[in-house]
Amino acid sequence: MRLSARTQYALRAAAELAAAPPGPVPAEKIAAAQDIPRRFLDNILLQLRRAGLINSQRGPDGGYWLARPATDISLADVIVVVEGVSQDSEHFPGVAEPLADVWVALREYEQSTLSEITLAHIASGSLPPL
């Protein structure tokens, strides 16, 4: 699985919010902590907010925070918001035809694994058994 830089930044920003103490976290702090270009981060945070994964507040005491507990947001949730859902089904001719089933199984395994790992796992540094 290849993840775009945008998706990797989104996962890192979400993990930063999961590890933060309660309350709004300024975008500047997220950008600095995760070495994410600020303009890029602003677009990502907007996308995550529109998807309902994070909330925001404007003003001097403003910032971003997770809309749900970190235990309820999986890596797959963030990836789907940024990357979308792959609908492509591949077909291979002749003797290579079974490869299509391999790719389907591989995508299902990836999805299953990413759905089991939450932002709380990442923030705590304790992954579930894989």
pLDDT value of residue 88: 65
Beta bridge partners of 55: 65
- Hey, is 21 helix, strand or coil? coil
* Class of the CATH domain delimited by 5-124: mainly alpha
pLDDT value of residue 55: 97
pLDDT value of residue 86: 67
Beta bridge partners of 63: 57
pLDDT value of residue 1: 73
**Ramachandran category for residue 55: left, alpha or beta (phi over 0 → left; psi -120 to 50 → alpha):** beta
pLDDT tens digits for range 36-48: 999 999 999 999 9
pTM for the whole structure: 0.88
What's the rounded Cα separation, in Å, for the pair 103 and 91?
Answer: 10
Q: Give the start-to-end residue ranges of the domains of the chain.
A: 5-124
Weakly modelled stretches of the chain, pLDDT under 70 = 86-89
What's the rounded Cα separation, in Å, for the pair 120 and 11?
Answer: 12
